[in-house]
Amino acid sequence: MLPKVSIIIPFYNDQYVDQAIVSALYQTYPNVEVIVVDDGSTRHQEVVAPYRSRIHYIGKANGGTGSALNHGFSIASGKYVAWLSSDDRFLSDKVAKQAAYMEATGAQISHTDYHVINEHGTVTEYGAGIKYPSAKAFIYGIRHGCPVNGCTVMMTKELFQAMGGFNPGLPYTHDYDFWIRVLLSRVDFHYFNEPLTLYRRHSQMGTVRHFNTILNEAGMVTAQYAHQLDDLLAQLPD
């Protein structure tokens, strides 16, 4: 039997959440559970209503994306877990292809390429992911910023638990912090070079509205781990 994959969708007042849910429900992969974590939303819950019988819908007090992801991942029953932002979409074969890659390689965590879409769902950039020629180049990239699109990531639930989850004290860079901790634990962070996610850029997205705050928070995360990442880089062959 194919291993179960749990898709966690954190939701807070997002008008596109129904599109995210549909993309998760209509995967070609037959063994998927969809968990929507309502992080204290006050708007747009009505667009979720038609799908309530086919998803696990969990409500909680507002605590931020990291908190919502931790909640969803903790109750997930799949071998693998994947995060889908409520304004993004998975291509229909995302789970099938990435889960097959994980099984074939034994990867504990992987990320993929992605396309960019606008508020209307039109693709505005194809293959927007950053490709690195080596593991060392990737670690160097993450030493200076976050090149990983979190909604392209699939990992084992076992790894998520071993890493202690996301840091809910980081409202915007909980994912960046998590990827660094994975690398410092000497876990291989695989890249599957195929676009499997549609990443939506629009005027109301958090990375637009809170851009300067995110930059400052990312700088703090980078500074926290700079010496450890430099030590790791020094140990790797060119």
pLDDT in tens, 26-70: 999 999 999 999 999 988 889 999 999 999 999 999 999 999 999
Q: What is the pLDDT of residues 70-114, one digit of tens each?
A: 999 999 999 999 999 999 999 999 999 999 999 999 999 999 999
DSSP annotation string for 11-44: ESS-TTHHHHHHHHHT-S-SSEEEEEEEES--S-
- Dist CA 81 CA 106 (whole Å): 15
By residue range, what is the domain housing residue 207?
5-235
Q: Which residues contact 221 (CB under 8 A, 6 or more apart)?
A: 170, 173, 176, 177, 180
| CATH number of 228's domain | 3.90.550.10
Give CA–CA dist 130/127, Å, rounded.
8
The tokens describing 211, both together, are 């851009």
Count of domains for the chain:
1
Residue 208's pLDDT band (boundaries 50, 70, 90)? low
Q: pLDDT value at position 207?
A: 65
Q: Please give the angle made by the CA atoms of 69, 84 and 25, to the nearest 5 degrees.
A: 115
